[in-house]
């Protein structure tokens, strides 16, 4: 794995790559997978999953952070003033489109897209671009938040509880941010234990405890509540043969009723229901298993 840093839509962005890098040439036999994360869009959460996926497929894999979700240079944090539209959902879609147009399409090869959670919604929006669509071999939408997020159990909680508390949470994050590191780590250790997050993620969770990134997570998440409404059946039906969706059985962001509904309303849709109790945030506990599963799909679709 290699770490790279780019300016995309004037936002410093972290890129992780497996196999061939952004600077390498590709030939027609090379495989490339581009991954779009959920929110928060912190690439480091996905390392174990993508390590396993790379081992399973031997494909080159690229994942980029969401705009403003990772700090590339702590001495040069971008200003949010006048730039809020860069960090909302529409801005994140533009951020991914610019990346693909500048770094993926010039490689001249077909590529696969993997989207997790809101990353699935972003992929459906990207498929509206005919140039990008024509180069996509297949799309894998994992635990896809592609409809009525505000009506889900987690969406109701955010809109009724967290939204009114947002202006209290930001000062709290700022207070924690300025604490000495050993106190900060102690508090985060308590939090990850309570939230059932493995200890190995403690340094990644530190990314949350920064006013800049926290505000960007929140703004994007709140925008998702208002923007992700009716499912875009037109784009799904137009790309039916190159979309695979994977739903969880107990997902508070994507209720099982959403799976039942899409299976009923879109004939021939390749939507699968997880029978292994993988969680929406699979990168915390089920990375290797999901890497194997998605790798098997990709290998199978190579021959189709």
Judge whether 291 and 51 are in contact, CB under 8 Å. Answer: yes
State the catalytic residue, choosing from 138, 251, 286, 287. Answer: 251
Q: Are 176 and 184 in contact (CB under 8 A)?
A: yes
Based on the residue annotation, tell me whether 66 is a catalytic residue of this protein: no
**Helices 118-126 + 89-99 axis angle, to 10:** 60
* Residue 193 CA from chain centroid, whole number: 23
Exposed / middle / buried, residue 69 (Cβ in 10 Å: 0-12, 13-18, 19+):
buried
Q: Does residue 170 contact residue 80 with C-beta atoms inside 8 Å?
A: no
Spatial distance between the Cα atoms of 292 and 54, rounded to a whole number of angstroms:
10
CB 5 within 8 A of CB 14: yes
280 is catalytic: yes
Tell me which of 117, 210, 219, 286 is the catalytic residue: 117
Catalytic residue among 54, 66, 116, 280: 280
- How far apart (Å, rounded) are the C-alpha atoms in residues 241 and 18? 27
What's the CA gap between 210 and 225, in Å, rounded?
23
Quick one: three-class SS letters along 166-213? HHHHHHHHHHHHCCCHHHHHHHHHHHHHHCCCCHHHHHHHHHHCCHHH
Determine contact, residues 288/48, Cβ cutoff 8 Å: yes
Closest C-alpha among 107, 103, 96 to residue 4? 103
Q: Determine whether 117 is an active site residue.
A: yes
Q: Rounded distance, CA 26 to CA 245, Å?
A: 28
- Reported as type and span, the H/E element at residue 112 is strand 111-116
Enter the DSSP assignment of 128: T
Q: Which residues are catalytic?
A: 117, 251, 280
């Amino acid at each position: 794995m290699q770490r790279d840093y780019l300016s995309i839509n004037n936002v410093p962005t972290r890129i992780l790559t497996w196999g061939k890098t952004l600077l390498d040439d590709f030939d027609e036999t090379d495989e490339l997978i581009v991954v779009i994360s959920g929110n928060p869009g912190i690439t480091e959460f996905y390392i174990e999953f993508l390590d396993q996926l790379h081992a399973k497929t031997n494909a080159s894999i690229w994942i980029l952070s969401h705009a403003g979700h990772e700090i590339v240079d702590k001495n040069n944090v971008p200003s949010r003033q006048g730039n809020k539209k860069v960090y909302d959902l529409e801005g994140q879609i533009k951020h991914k489109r610019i990346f693909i147009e500048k770094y993926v399409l010039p490689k001249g090869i077909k590529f696969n897209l993997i989207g997790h959670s809101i990353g699935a919604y972003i992929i459906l929006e990207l498929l509206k671009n005919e140039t990008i669509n024509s180069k996509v071999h297949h799309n894998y939408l994992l635990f896809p938040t592609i409809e009525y997020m505000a009506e889900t159990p987690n969406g109701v909680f955010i809109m009724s509880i967290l939204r009114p508390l947002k202006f209290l949470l930001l000062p709290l994050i700022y207070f924690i941010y300025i604490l000495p590191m050993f106190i900060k780590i102690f508090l985060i250790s308590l939090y990850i234990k309570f939230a059932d997050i493995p200890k190995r993620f403690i340094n990644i969770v530190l990314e949350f405890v920064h006013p800049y990134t926290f505000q960007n997570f929140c703004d994007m998440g709140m925008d998702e509540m208002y923007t992700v409404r009716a499912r875009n059946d037109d784009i799904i039906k137009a790309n039916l043969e190159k979309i695979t969706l994977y739903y969880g059985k107990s997902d508070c962001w994507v209720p099982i009723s959403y799976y039942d509904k899409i299976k009923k309303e879109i004939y021939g849709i390749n939507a699968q229901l997880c029978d292994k109790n993988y969680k929406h945030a699979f990168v915390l506990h089920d990375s290797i298993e999901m890497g194997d599963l998605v790798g098997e799909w990709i290998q199978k679709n190579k021959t189709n």
